[in-house]
Structure 1
Amino acid sequence: MQEFVRLQTFNWSGFQQIQLDIQFLRTPLKETVEDEAAVDFLLDEVIVGALERCLDPIPLEPPILDKLIQAKLAKTRDQIPSAS
């Protein structure tokens, strides 16, 4: 993903989408690896790369980012059929 970001140019909405995607991936990736610090470092590098390749970066505020992620997680939970 870092290589993909390095080869692109982003507008503000593209940068925000990368920011949102990375934040969304952070928890499940950390649950599957032993070195959480390495995951955080690599994901942060993707965001920094997107920031550097963005023409007009306007980052999402953390509360907005969290709200979007929680809404997506809630929607995903609602779509999973319960085992009855």
Structure 2
Amino acid sequence: MPVIWLGAFLVIAGVLLLAKAAIDRGRLSGTANGSPGLRDGTLEPEHRGVRFLGLAGNWPGLALIAFGAALLLFGAAI
């Protein structure tokens, strides 16, 4: 049973780490007084792209999720 709890904790910690990494990449919008972060009155950044989905910055969270999933499968098998 402790193996399952540890696996669940690692999966949740990995998801939280991925969310924190995506949030910490930068501001999602600028201020309302004409900063370069605002485009046409929207809060979407101009040059965000999909680089935040890459493996370079997300590998620790993905590794935690994979290890936690392996522990969950191991705990279910025993």
Larger Rg: 2
State the TM bucket, normalised to the shorter chain: 0.3 to 0.5
**TM-score, reference length from structure 2:** 0.34
Q: Give the TM-score normalised by structure 1.
A: 0.32
Structure with larger RCO (C-alpha < 8 A, sep 6+): 2
